[in-house]
Amino acid sequence: MTKVLNLAEKQDSEGVWHQVRQDVCHWCGCNYLLADDDHDLVWEPGAHHEGRCSDELCECHEQPAVGTRRD
């Protein structure tokens, strides 16, 4: 798989680097990141809430995934 030069990179929970894309949580509206090569790997906002967040108790705030798979 070829890399896209303008995508940011983040390490997952196992230390592997992935290029990441920004997406929006369809539950609360906050931005999160997902791995370009594996859309099950996500980095969520955690305690950070954006102005448009509609649910501060959403799973991505209460139990954020940081480079892990969301079940």
Q: What's the pLDDT score for residue 71? A: 66
pLDDT less than 70: residues of the chain: 1-5, 71
Supply 2's token pair.
């070829």
In this predicted structure, what is the pLDDT of residue 34?
93
pLDDT given for residue 67 in this prediction? 92
pLDDT value, residue 13:
92
Q: How far, CA to CA in Å, does 25 sit from each of 13, 15, 17, 34, 44? A: 21, 24, 22, 11, 9
Domain parsing of the chain, residue ranges? 8-69
